Each structure stands twice: as structure tokens, then as C-alpha cells.
Amino acid sequence: MSSAHQPEASASKPVLYAIGCGSPLTRDLHRLIAAGQRDGWDVCAILTPDGRKFADEPALARQTGHPVRWAYKDPADPDVLPTPDALVVAPATVNTVNKWAAGITDTLALGLLVESQGRGVPIVAMPFTNAAMATHPAFQEGLRRLRDWNVTVLFGEDVLPLHAPGTGERYIHLFPWDRAIDVLRTRLGGELAN
């Protein structure tokens, strides 16, 4: 797969999709959005259906200036978001990583990830889960496959030490959202318009 995706030529800002899954960390998706905006991105928020349980959708819509999308549009409806130049999925749940690695597209978030990957759009994944769930072979294999497909996966002791089951809330404030934006700056370098 090509890693040489060029942001679409536009006088406006490059577009970043910030995708939040079903984890308490999605309450802080605004931190990823703010980091992206500081770096010159026009950020759109996407949620999984379970991500909606944790997110403040009206606040995310106000912050981004775009509708928050979480379901596939009806066939006759227009696209309401600009095409992404990059995607960050953070937090990426075990469920979404496993389905993504298998090519399953039964949520809008997964459809966007699978399609964007095929288009060669840069993608950063920041899984968040506990130490027990992280040991599942399907998850470990999924992370390997995503890395093989040129997805930047930020996960492990050097990103955020794994926590015991039931203690995730204690570590949410330590989650290094900015690292995803740093990766994109490095991956895209001078290609960005900002």
C-alpha cells in the first residue's frame, strides 16, 4: 500500500477525522481535536455507536464546526463532511482493532478506516484497554497487521503503561493525545498546507 498520500489540493486546511470508540477515554476526545486544531487541521469528530455513550456530541460539534457522524448516511443523503487527509482513532477499542484488522465495516468508523487505508491516507491508531484484554491473541495479531499495513500504532509501555482491569479511569488524564498529532506532522511533513 502506498504511504505517499498527498493531502487534497485546497486553499483550506487539511482535514483530520478524530475517531472515538466505546471507552471512557472518548470523554476526552476534545483534547485530540484541540491538539489537531493547534497544528492547523480542520478536525471532524466521528464516533462508534458505543463511543456515543461517552462523548458530549453537541460540545464536539461546537468545537469542530462540523456535525458529529457515527452512522452511515442514507443513500440519498449528501456527504456532510469534507474528505479526510488523515485519521486518528483514539481511543481504539479492542473490538474496533480486531474488526478493522479483519476488514469488517459494520460501523461508520470502521468503514472510514478500511476505505481510507485503501486510499493510502495516513492513519494513527491509539488503542486503550486493560492489561488483560490486551493479551488476547486476536488483538496482538491485529496490531501487527495494522502496522504491516502502514498504520502507525501507538500502544504499549512506552506510550502508556497497561493498567489492571477496572482501573482505566485512573489513567485517562495521562493519555498522550498530542503524540498522534506529532506522528502526523512527521509523516506528512511539508505536504501540509499549514
Ligand X SMILES: Cc1cc2nc3c(=O)[nH]c(=O)nc-3n(C[C@H](O)[C@H](O)[C@H](O)COP(=O)(O)O)c2cc1C
* Site residues (vs ligand X, CB under 6 A): 21-24, 48, 50-51, 93-96, 107, 128-129, 133, 168
Least separation in angstroms between residue 57's CB and ligand X is 15
The answer to whether 97 and 155 have CB atoms below 8 angstroms apart is: no
Residue placing its CB nearer to ligand X in the complex, 39 or 154: 154
Least separation in angstroms between residue 171's CB and ligand X is 10
Question: Residue 102, CB half-sphere, CA atoms under 13 Å: how many?
Answer: 12
Least separation in angstroms between residue 191's CB and ligand X is 30
User: Cα–Cα distance between 8 and 14 in angstroms, integer?
Assistant: 8
Q: How far is CA 37 from CA 153, 162, 167, in A?
A: 21, 28, 30
Residue placing its CB nearer to ligand X in the complex, 65 or 111: 111
Residue with the shortest CB distance to ligand X: 22
Three cell numbers written together for 108? 461508520
| Nearest in space to 153 (alpha carbons), one of 96, 104, 92 | 92
Residue placing its CB nearer to ligand X in the complex, 114 or 192: 114
Least separation in angstroms between residue 11's CB and ligand X is 35
Residue placing its CB nearer to ligand X in the complex, 21 or 153: 21
Least separation in angstroms between residue 150's CB and ligand X is 22
Residue placing its CB nearer to ligand X in the complex, 128 or 155: 128
Least separation in angstroms between residue 25's CB and ligand X is 6
Residue placing its CB nearer to ligand X in the complex, 21 or 121: 21
